[in-house]
Structure 1
């Protein structure tokens, strides 16, 4: 089962992360949370675990208007929010992978028509953000 939308780009790590934030922002998503998995692994599990995961950031992206509509339609849907966007790269790669949860996953869990409308809109916006990243002309293979 596919549950993410993804792209890859061949840019320096910090630039790839910043461009991801910018692409999400251009589609109306703010970043509510940021989890640095590498730092957490290093602090809790040691440097070997951190090195094994490489650079790995989870961005909790939220479009407030879409989130409001989804929660109004089905309050339980908040358990699936915000939309997680992973920006990751292994220590041995020059390619950064950006993966977003596919909002259409919510549709499989809900019968509410309004949730489908929100998921369609969110999916379109996330696809546009990923396309923006891909169109840098520097995507990886």
Structure 2
């Protein structure tokens, strides 16, 4: 089982970040964190790295519902989305697969929640049409 859902695009890097940010909003998500990996690695260890962002997305309604089922579910939040510029010029947008992530939690009540979350996140990738 893969632990992520991926879409390869021909968008520019900035356009890909903008499009996925807008796409997740259509499903009730917002960005809680935005980590610029390239800038962080340059600042911390002085290495050059490709354009790479990690966006931490959260749907407050679904998060609240999950907290009602499993108090420690916050360990698995937010849902990470990566936007990565590849050497071939394509930009990959990948989203954590919540069903894979939640399989490590031994609480069957979370499975419907994980499936709904996955469905919403997969739909976000369909909103990225060129």
Tell me how far 1:73 sits from its aligned partner: 0.4
- Which residue of structure 2 aligns with residue 7 of structure 1? 7
Higher helix share: 1
Tell me how far 1:113 sits from its aligned partner: 3.5
Within 5 Å, give how 1:60-99 maps onto structure 2.
Answer: 60-90=56-86, 92-99=87-94
Q: In structure 2, the residue corresponding to 1:109 is in which secondary structure?
A: coil
Instruction: After superposing the two structures, state which structure 1 stretch, 65-74 or 106-115, moved more.
Output: 106-115
Gaps spanning 5+ residues in structure 2: where? none
Task: List per-residue Cα deviations over 1:55-103 (Å, max 9, x = no partner).
Answer: 000000000011111111011111010000001113x332110111101
- Which residue of structure 2 aligns with residue 123 of structure 1? 118
Contact kept, 8 Å, 2:7 with 2:125, in 1: the verdict is: yes
* CA distance 1:72–1:88, shift in 2 (3 Å): same
Gaps spanning 5+ residues in structure 1: where? 137-141
Q: In structure 2, the residue corresponding to 1:60 is in which secondary structure?
A: strand
- Which residue of structure 2 aligns with residue 22 of structure 1? 22
**Where in structure 1 do 4 or more consecutive aligned residues deviate above 4 Å?**
none
- When the two chains are superposed, the root-mean-square deviation of aligned CA atoms in Å is 1.3
Tell me how far 1:114 sits from its aligned partner: 3.2
Tell me how far 1:112 sits from its aligned partner: 2.7
* CA distance 1:75–1:50, shift in 2 (3 Å): farther
Task: List per-residue Cα deviations over 1:26-82 (Å, max 9, x = no partner).
Answer: 111100010000000000111xx333xx00000000000111111110111110100
**TM-score relative to the length of structure 2:** 0.93
**TM-score relative to the length of structure 1:** 0.86
